[in-house]
Chain A
Amino acid sequence: MAASDFSRLIAAAADTIAAHAGELTALDQAIGDGDHGLNMKRGFEAVRAEADAFAAKPLPEALKAVGTKLVMTVGGASGPLFGTLFMALGKELPPAPDRNGLAAALGKAIEAVAARGKSQVGQKTMLDVLQPVYEALAQGKTASEIADAADKAAEATVPMKALRGRASFLGERSIGHMDAGARSTALLVRAVAEAIEGI
């Protein structure tokens, strides 16, 4: 991937998080501690500020640098979770991945996020979006189909009962609200999918 393309992906991710920060915070206020939008925005703006330096690195190193920056700047539990996603992707991806390589790396990265959060699919978390995205990717779906699968998966967290994270303190009362981490994951998937389609 050319450095300018990686910079474009970072910009797309940071743009969508900035544009939806209010919505993410509102989702988190309903069933969490209400800082998700602000935290994610701070993290992705910090990544944007160093986008060119990151983009100059080989792809695996660039992704690891993004992950480390998110860990250090997002805060909350989201920092380590999103940070681990990018760090693990960087660790697992070959320098010039094809679709199969990307799918395999995402599968490993999902395992790393699940281990970090001591969570699994079905507990109303970002994993509930990542897993269908992985499946769509592995099945050869188009970028726009993958983005749609992510949105649908985020919507599907609404009727779920939270079993991990701050929302799990609410038990049954977490039902009826979309998980903020699932929503931000879907936003990132769409931004990256649309940017990749344009490359």
Chain B
Amino acid sequence: MSNVGIVIVSHSPLVAEGTADMVRQMVGDEVPLAWCGGNGHGGLGTSVEAIMGAIDKAWSEAGVAILVDLGGAETNSEMAVEMIGEPRSHRIIVCNAPIVEGAVMAATESSGGASLKEVVATAHELSPS
């Protein structure tokens, strides 16, 4: 699939899965999508290993946009991108956007064949700063 992939990373697996459900229902199946949540030990949190796995699952040659919730999810996602390494790391961007709205808007943009830059810009419009 050549559409930009979307990865959802929440501290809570329920939030991550629920957000992915909303994306699937509102946007459909034309967008590579993966989610992860929880610290890997049954608690709330995020895991670099799980994030790397989700990026692999949603991987697209057009790139991957990651939507995160709280700070640790962002830090862990940036770490995961770095550990995935070049050249793929150049085509993965952690978005600064609210997780639910950002995921739905980014996926909507992606489903129309937009570039990674356009997908990320659409998500960022939700966080004026």
A binds B: yes
Most chain B Cβ neighbours within 10 Å, of A68, A71, A80, A83: A80
**A42-B41, A84-B79 in contact; A77/B71 too (CB < 8 A)?**
yes
- Determine whether A72 belongs to the interface, using a CB cutoff of 8 Å to chain B: yes
Residues of B within 8 A of A72 (CB): 47-49
Q: How far apart are the CA atoms of A103 and B79 in the complex, in Å?
A: 25
Chain B: number of interface residues, binned into ranges: 10 to 19
User: Given A76-B45, A77-B76, A117-B75, 4 more contacts at CB 8 Å?
Assistant: A68-B83, A76-B72, A80-B75, A116-B75
- Determine whether A75 belongs to the interface, using a CB cutoff of 8 Å to chain B: yes
Q: How far is the CB of B43 from chain A (nearest CB, A)?
A: 7
Q: Give 1 or 0 for each of A19-41: 1 = CB within 8 Å of chain B CB.
A: 00000000000000101000100
Residues of B within 8 A of A132 (CB): none
- Determine whether B126 belongs to the interface, using a CB cutoff of 8 Å to chain A: no
Q: How far is the CB of A167 from chain B (nearest CB, A)?
A: 11
- Determine whether A57 belongs to the interface, using a CB cutoff of 8 Å to chain B: no
| Residues of A participating in the B interface, judged by any CB pair closer than 8 Å | 33, 35, 39, 42, 68, 71-72, 75-77, 79-81, 83-84, 116-117, 164-166
Q: How far is the CB of A180 from chain B (nearest CB, A)?
A: 13
Q: How far apart are the CA atoms of A71 and B78 in the complex, in Å?
A: 12
Q: How far apart are the CA atoms of A75 and B43 in the complex, in Å?
A: 10
Q: Please tell me if the beta carbons of A77 and B72 are within 8 angstroms of each other in the complex.
A: yes
Q: Please tell me if the beta carbons of A75 and B47 are within 8 angstroms of each other in the complex.
A: yes
Q: Please tell me if the beta carbons of A83 and B71 are within 8 angstroms of each other in the complex.
A: no
Residues of A within 8 A of B75 (CB): 77, 80-81, 116-117
- Determine whether B70 belongs to the interface, using a CB cutoff of 8 Å to chain A: yes
| Residues of B participating in the A interface, judged by any CB pair closer than 8 Å | 39-41, 43-49, 70-72, 75-76, 78-79, 83
Residues of A within 8 A of B48 (CB): 71-72, 79-80
Q: How far apart are the CA atoms of A33 and B43 in the complex, in Å?
A: 11
Q: Please tell me if the beta carbons of B71 and A165 are within 8 angstroms of each other in the complex.
A: yes
Q: Please tell me if the beta carbons of A166 and B45 are within 8 angstroms of each other in the complex.
A: no
A-B pairs with beta carbons under 8 Å apart, 5 shown:
A68-B83, A77-B76, A79-B48, A81-B75, A116-B79
**A75-B39, A76-B39, A77-B72 in contact; A35/B45 too (CB < 8 A)?**
yes
**Nearest residue in A to B76 (C-beta to C-beta)?**
A80
Q: Please tell me if the beta carbons of B45 and A75 are within 8 angstroms of each other in the complex.
A: yes
Q: Which of B40, B45, B78 contacts A80 (CB 8 A)?
A: B78
Q: How far apart are the CA atoms of A72 and B70 in the complex, in Å?
A: 19
Q: How far apart are the CA atoms of A116 and B81 in the complex, in Å?
A: 12
Residues of B within 8 A of A84 (CB): 79
Q: How far is the CB of B62 from chain A (nearest CB, A)?
A: 26
Q: How far apart are the CA atoms of A198 and B59 in the complex, in Å?
A: 49
Q: Please tell me if the beta carbons of B79 and A71 are within 8 angstroms of each other in the complex.
A: yes
Residues of B within 8 A of A35 (CB): 39, 43, 45
Residues of B within 8 A of A39 (CB): 39
